[in-house]
């Protein structure tokens, strides 16, 4: 009996002070994972969050460009804890870096060489789950780039009576997305198979991670996405929905139209978590397709990852970019003329098939057009030749002395109203990537009005006062004139600079801006939308910024001064919008001509103008043929029409029956009698 008691006392005294186990060193090679195993023995049979468990992990790494390196601790039961990933930028080394649950500073907030004690990206406490710690622990070090190999110099894990704890993610008013990759790392490409669950009980209801996955419960294929954003610790993902057999399957997600290609966007360097959402919703209100978005919270392999945005990937689809499907057999006639989606962007990686414009940017650099649809691996040679020739014809017409001629100039090949709205959204947000990167345009078949249209809008996370370079933080100046502000690098085409030399374009732009500033782009409307999103994520944002403690800290490329908290972020965001919109109000050129008539029909008039519910149209008719009266929006979509039988003399009709209530804005009334056509501009209050 004395022997047994003596042994128990010895064990108690040992574990009251903790025990450290040291691992071995190793070489870290480019684009490879270093896995170092450590056998732990002699500990109690369970570790928990109250009496005894994992306390600390320490390591030292010699490596240039820390952002290329990630480190994950794996427990004997397979639980994985991300210690760090994509931090430190181009700086070097981790010098005696220790991770504890009770540390006051997150590794995300630290700086190289990361010497001292930090909270890891994922809580250490998840390992203290009553598992048996006696077994093999693994440290996984991954180098995601080439040209900067290094070494794992040392590492250790410590167990003791002050175990790491964590507060598990339990519930949210946002939809919850749960991903399980069976602890596989998610690569940049190709997609790996995973399981996805979605829980959503609708607005005003609370979702629990333990609820039945009523919104989705099936396989997906998933990969990391993003160029610059791919280097952020919080990763964005592209995924496709699949059936139980792993076959691609179109699926409705959280009420969005069925498709199989989706994005989970991580707003890591957008501390408002809403810049893309705001832009896309404004584009939708302006009657253009832009990606639909749903805010949610993500759990990956049991680890909370913060706020994400589920969004639609840009694709040709009746519910996305609604243009004709282009088949490999569509190589002649009208079939060849559409539809196409083209992108202006960096030529990188697999995103490199397209052509170079015959017309250079303002600084004489090249403009690259990339095939987005059809994809570069399936587009036919005849289709390549056609779309290149069409875009070249547009650019040639724009560069010609008669560019402003509505019949032979750029308007022959384009829908200028879409260029106007594209201009407005990139300018009010002062999108530092605007016009030159992530810029899309598309073309429908000729039989369906096939001219070039700008859009969809895409990638506005560095807009709306969220870039500290190339004057992205300055509320003054025009973004289309990028080369004057920021020469070098990728430059925008000179399309908008040239169009602004056309008085007609200037006037249309002025009218559209004036109308939108009274509606969707008014200060009050923009503020209300920002406030509504901020209120919606009020609880989730606390969890998000506990996971990614970035408030008050510089995160590339946030402009200064850095607000100290989330309300400060929103206040600064709104103040910049006020300053920016006011600057445009005072500097936009042109004159808004309401009542402007083209190809005049005798005595044509409309009243009242502006109108509320009822619009009266009167004109003098020869009585020789029926008169067609149609109402169009600025994008050329017919809103309503009426036909009047022949009647010599003054005629009058009223337009007041529409399929849905008209939004405030500018419209065109078109009147056709025989071969005579008139158009008159009207405003709806």
Measured CA to CA, the distance from residue 303 to residue 186 in angstroms comes to 14
Mean pLDDT score, 386-411: 97
- Report whether pLDDT(141) > 80: yes
**How does pLDDT run across 593-636, given as a tens digit for each residue?**
665 555 456 667 788 888 887 888 887 776 777 888 888 887 67
Burial string for 146-162 (b: 16+ CB within 10 Å, else e) reads eebebebbebbbbbbeb
Domain 19-160: give its CATH code: 2.60.120.260
Mean pLDDT score, 270-280: 98
Dihedral, CA of residue 294, residue 186, residue 305 and residue 88, to nearest 10: -120
**How does pLDDT run across 476-504, given as a tens digit for each residue?**
999 999 999 999 889 999 999 999 999 99
**How does pLDDT run across 338-364, given as a tens digit for each residue?**
999 999 998 876 667 999 999 999 999
**How does pLDDT run across 151-197, given as a tens digit for each residue?**
999 999 999 999 999 999 999 999 999 999 998 889 989 999 999 99
Mean pLDDT score, 210-233: 92
Instruction: Indicate the domain borders of the chain.
Output: 19-160, 171-312, 334-504, 605-684
What sign does the dihedral 513-516-520-521 (CA atoms) show? positive
Instruction: Please tell me the predicted confidence (pLDDT) of residue 598.
Output: 52
Mean pLDDT score, 524-547: 97
Higher pLDDT, 246 or 669: 246
Burial string for 278-312 (b: 16+ CB within 10 Å, else e) reads bbbbbbbbbebbbbbbbbbbbbbbbbbbbbbbbbb
**How does pLDDT run across 559-603, given as a tens digit for each residue?**
999 999 999 999 999 999 999 999 999 999 998 866 555 545 666
Instruction: Please tell me the predicted confidence (pLDDT) of residue 677.
Output: 74
Instruction: Please tell me the predicted confidence (pLDDT) of residue 2.
Output: 34
What sign does the dihedral 672-675-676-677 (CA atoms) show? positive
**How does pLDDT run across 629-685, given as a tens digit for each residue?**
888 887 677 888 888 887 777 788 888 766 677 887 788 888 888 777 787 888 888
Between vectors from CA 146 to CA 142 and to CA 148, what angle results, nearest 5°?
80
Measured CA to CA, the distance from residue 100 to residue 58 in angstroms comes to 9
Measured CA to CA, the distance from residue 610 to residue 592 in angstroms comes to 13
Confidence of residue 9 (pLDDT cuts 50, 70, 90): very low
β-bridge pairing 176-180 and 293-300: parallel
Measured CA to CA, the distance from residue 82 to residue 303 in angstroms comes to 9
| Other CB atoms within 10 A of residue 225 CB | 20
Instruction: Please tell me the predicted confidence (pLDDT) of residue 14.
Output: 40
Measured CA to CA, the distance from residue 129 to residue 24 in angstroms comes to 26
Q: What is the 3-state secondary structure (H, E, C) of 246-289?
A: CCECCEEECCEEEECEEEEECCCCCCCCCHHHHHHHHHHHCCCC
Measured CA to CA, the distance from residue 127 to residue 173 in angstroms comes to 28
Closest CA to 491 of 581, 375, 367: 367
Mean pLDDT score, 13-31: 82
What percentage of the chain exceeds 70 in pLDDT? 94
Measured CA to CA, the distance from residue 504 to residue 392 in angstroms comes to 23
Instruction: Give the Å distances, CA to CA, from 131 to 134, 157, 436, 522.
Output: 9, 16, 53, 57
- The average confidence (pLDDT) of the chain is 92
Mean pLDDT score, 49-74: 96
Measured CA to CA, the distance from residue 119 to residue 84 in angstroms comes to 9
Instruction: Give the Å distances, CA to CA, from 353 to 223, 348, 525.
Output: 21, 9, 41
Q: What is the 3-state secondary structure (H, E, C) of 543-601?
A: HHHHHCCCCCCCCCCCCCCCCCCHHHHHHHHHHHHHHHHHHHHHHCCCCCCCCCEECCC
Confidence of residue 336 (pLDDT cuts 50, 70, 90): very high
- The domain 605-684 having CATH identifier 3.30.360.10: the answer here is no
End-to-end alpha carbon distance in the chain: 94
């Amino acid at each position: 009996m004395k022997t047994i008691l003596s042994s128990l006392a010895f064990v108690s005294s040992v574990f009251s002070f903790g025990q450290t186990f040291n691992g071995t060193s190793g070489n870290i090679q480019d684009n490879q994972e270093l896995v170092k195993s450590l056998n732990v023995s002699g500990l109690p049979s369970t570790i928990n969050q109250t009496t005894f468990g994992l306390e600390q992990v320490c390591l030292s790494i010699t490596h240039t460009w820390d952002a290329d390196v990630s480190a994950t601790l794996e427990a004997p039961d397979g639980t994985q804890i991300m210690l760090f990933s994509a931090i430190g930028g181009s700086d070097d080394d981790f010098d005696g870096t220790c991770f504890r649950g009770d540390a006051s500073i997150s590794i995300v907030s630290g700086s190289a060489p990361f010497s001292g004690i930090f909270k890891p990206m994922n809580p250490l406490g998840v390992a203290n789950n009553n598992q048996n710690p006696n077994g093999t622990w693994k440290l996984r070090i991954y180098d995601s780039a080439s040209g900067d190999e290094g070494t794992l110099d040392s590492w250790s894990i410590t167990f003791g009576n002050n175990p790491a704890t964590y507060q598990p993610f339990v519930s949210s008013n946002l939809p919850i997305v749960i991903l399980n990759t069976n602890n596989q790392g998610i690569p940049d490409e190709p997609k790996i198979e995973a399981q996805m669950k979605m829980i959503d009980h609708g607005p005003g209801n609370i979702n629990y991670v333990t609820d039945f996955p009523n919104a989705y419960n099936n396989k997906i294929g998933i990969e990391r996405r993003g160029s610059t954003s791919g280097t952020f610790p919080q990763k964005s993902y592209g995924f496709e929905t699949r059936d139980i057999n792993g076959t691609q399957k179109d699926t409705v997600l959280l009420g969005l139209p069925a498709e199989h290609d989706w994005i989970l966007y991580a707003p890591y360097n957008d501390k408002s978590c809403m810049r893309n959402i705001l832009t896309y919703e404004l584009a939708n209100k302006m009657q253009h397709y832009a990606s639909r978005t749903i805010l949610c919270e993500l759990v990956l392999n049991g680890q909370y990852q913060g706020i994400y945005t589920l969004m639609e990937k840009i694709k040709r689809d009746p519910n996305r970019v609604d243009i004709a499907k282009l088949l490999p057999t569509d190589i002649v006639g009208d079939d060849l003329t559409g539809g196409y989606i083209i992108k202006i962007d960096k030529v990188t990686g697999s995103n490199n098939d397209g052509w170079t414009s015959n017309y250079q940017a303002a600084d004489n650099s090249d403009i690259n057009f990339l095939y987005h649809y059809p994809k570069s691996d399936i587009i036919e040679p005849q289709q390549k030749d056609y779309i290149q020739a069409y875009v070249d014809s547009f650019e040639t017409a724009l560069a010609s002395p008669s560019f402003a001629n509505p019949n032979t100039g750029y308007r022959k090949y384009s829908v200028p109203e879409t260029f106007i709205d594209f201009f407005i959204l990139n300018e009010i947000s002062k999108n530092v990537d605007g016009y030159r990167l992530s810029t899309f345009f598309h073309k429908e078949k000729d039989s369906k009005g096939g001219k070039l249209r700008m859009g969809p809008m895409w990638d506005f996370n560095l807009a709306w006062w969220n870039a500290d370079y190339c004057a992205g933080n300055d509320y003054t100046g025009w973004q289309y004139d990028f080369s004057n502000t920021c020469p070098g690098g990728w430059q925008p085409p000179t399309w908008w600079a040239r169009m602004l030399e056309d008085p007609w374009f200037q006037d249309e732009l002025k009218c559209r801006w004036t109308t939108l500033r009274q509606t969707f782009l008014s200060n009050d409307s923009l503020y209300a939308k920002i406030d509504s999103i901020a209120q919606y994520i009020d609880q989730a944002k606390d969890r998000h910024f506990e996971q990614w403690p970035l408030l008050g800290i510089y995160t590339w490329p946030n402009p200064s001064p850095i607000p100290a908290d989330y309300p400060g972020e929103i206040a600064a965001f709104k103040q910049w919008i006020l300053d920016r919109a006011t600057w445009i109000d005072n500097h936009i050129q042109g004159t808004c001509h309401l009542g402007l008539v083209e190809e005049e029909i005798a005595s044509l008039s409309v009243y009242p103008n502006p109108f509320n519910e009822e619009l009266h149209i009167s004109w003098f008719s020869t009585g020789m043929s029926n008169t067609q009266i149609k109402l169009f929006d600025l994008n050329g979509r017919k809103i309503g029409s009426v036909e009047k039988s022949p009647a010599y003399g003054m005629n009058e009709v009223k337009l007041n029956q529409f399929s849905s209530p008209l939004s405030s804005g500018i419209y065109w009334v078109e009147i056709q009698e025989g071969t005579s056509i008139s158009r008159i501009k009207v405003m709806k209050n």
